[in-house]
Amino acid sequence: MIDKIKSLFGEESVSVTPDQNTYMDYSWFSTENQEIFGIKTGSLTVEQNNLLECLFTKLESNTIMMPSAQSEWFQYLYFNKGHNPLFFENENELPSSIRFIHFYSNQLFTHKVEFEEAINAFFHKEVIVVWNSAKEGVIIEKINDQPFNKEFLEHMQEIIAADLYHDVTFLVGKRYSPLANLYLYFDIEHQCFKKALSVKRQKHILWFSKEMLHYILSFLPEQLQKELPNLFLNDMKIDDPILSTVKIYLQQNLNVTATSKKAFLHRNTVQYRLDKFSEQTGIDLKHFEDGLVIFLAIHLLELTSET
C-alpha cells in the first residue's frame, strides 16, 4: 500500500518515518494494517486530502511521534541516522552491555501498549521497545548482570501467546559493548532474523549465534547449495540412518558415548555407522575442518529436502 502511495504522490513527498524536526510539515494517515505514512502538506490538494481521509485514518500530528528515546533508537538502528543514543549517557549510568531481542508476529499488534507493558513486566526493569511496523520491532535490553536465560524467554513467549493471543517469534542477539557500532551489529542481526523467519520450523525462541548458519549459507550460489551435499555425502538421503547418526555425532562434539545416548543406540552401532560413513565418503570426521564441511552439507541437504 505504501509503495502505491509513493507512486501516486512521488517518493520525495511521502514519509513513513516521522522526524522530530519535520513531522509537522506532513499530513499523517494510518492504513487498516496500522502502517503510518505522511504526505507533505504542500503536495496535497483539498480534494486529495478529503479522499485520503475517506480511505485512511487521519492522525493528529501530536500523536504520531514516538517518545524521544524510542525515536532516537528507531532512527539510529533502522536508518543509521544520528548517533548511538548511549553516547550521551553519563558514564556511570552506562550498562555493562546491550542486547537486542528482535520480535515478529504474523498478526498485527492492535494494542502495542499492552505488549510493551507485558515485556516490561517480564523483565522487571525498564527496557526500550522500538517498533518497525505493526508486526515487528526490537527490545533493547540494558544488562548490568546476567541476561535472562532460554527457559525464561520461552516462558515469556508462552505467556504472551496465551494472554495477548499473539504467536510471537523472538530472535535473541548477543551482548555488545554499549558504545560499540550498534547500528552495524543490529543490521546484521535483523537481516539474519528475516532469513531465519523464512526457514523457521516450529521454534519461537531463536538465537543469533545458531541462526547465523542459515544466514551465511544463503550467500552461497544456488547451484553450490544444491550440489555441495551430493559432492560430500555421496548421494545419501536425509533419512539415511548413517547420516542421522553422523549429524548427532557432530552436534555432540565428536563424542561417541554422548552420541549413543542421544540417538538411543549402542556405542558399537554408532561406531559402525561412523566407520561406514568414512568408508563411503573417504572423510575422517575426527578432523574439525572435515566435520564442519559435512555438517554444512547435511544442513543444506535438510533445506533442499524441505522444499
Domain boundary among 193, 217, 241: 217
Answer for the pair 276, 208: CB distance below 8 angstroms, yes or no. Answer: no
Assign residue 254 the CATH number of its domain: 1.10.10.2840
* Single-letter residue type at 5: I
- 180 & 237 share domain: no
SS3 174: strand
How do beta strands 205-207 and 168-176 pair?
parallel
Residue range 220-244: mean pLDDT, rounded: 90
Whether residues 147 and 201 fall in one domain: yes
Range of the domain at 84: 68-217
Q: Domain check: are 105 and 83 in the same one?
A: yes
Do 155 and 112 fall within a single domain? yes
Please give the pLDDT value at position 257: 95
pLDDT band (50, 70, 90) for residue 111? confident
pTM: predicted TM-score of the whole model, two decimal places: 0.72
148: DSSP letter: P
**Of 60, 72, 3, nearest in space to 30 by CA:** 60
By percentage, how much of the chain surpasses pLDDT 90? 37
From the CB of residue 160, how many other CB atoms can be counted at a distance below 10 Å?
22
* 248 has a pLDDT exceeding 90: yes
pLDDT at 63 exceeding the cut of 60: no
What is d(CA 285, CA 278) in angstroms, rounded to the nearest whole number? 7
Q: Give residue 34's pLDDT.
A: 63
Q: What three-state secondary structure class fits 262? A: helix
Higher pLDDT, 145 or 268: 268
What CATH number is associated with residue 127?
Answer: 3.30.70.270
pLDDT, mean of residues 208-212: 91
Q: For residues 190 and 137, give the distance between their C-alpha atoms in angstroms, rounded to a whole number.
A: 10
Same structural domain for residues 234 and 126?
A: no
205 lies in the same domain as 262:
no
Stretch 4-19: mean pLDDT: 82
The answer to whether residues 284 and 213 belong to one domain is no
CA distance 54 to 29: 11
**Which sign, positive or negative, has the C-alpha torsion 277, 279, 281, 287?**
positive
* Predicted confidence (pLDDT) per residue in 193-209, tens digit: 999 998 766 778 899 99
Report the chain's mean pLDDT, rounded to a whole number: 86
Is the same domain home to 113 and 193? yes
Helix (H) or strand (E) holding 99: strand 97-105
Q: How far apart are the first and last CA of the chain?
A: 30
- Structurally, how many domains does the chain consist of? 3
- Which residue stretches of 87-240 are H helix? 112-123, 150-163, 182-198, 208-217, 222-233
- Do 192 and 226 lie in a common domain? no
* 120 and 41 inside one domain: no
Closest to 250 in 3D by CA, of 299, 205, 300:
299
**Mean pLDDT to the nearest integer, 89-110:** 87
- Reported as a pLDDT band with limits 50, 70 and 90, residue 27 is confident
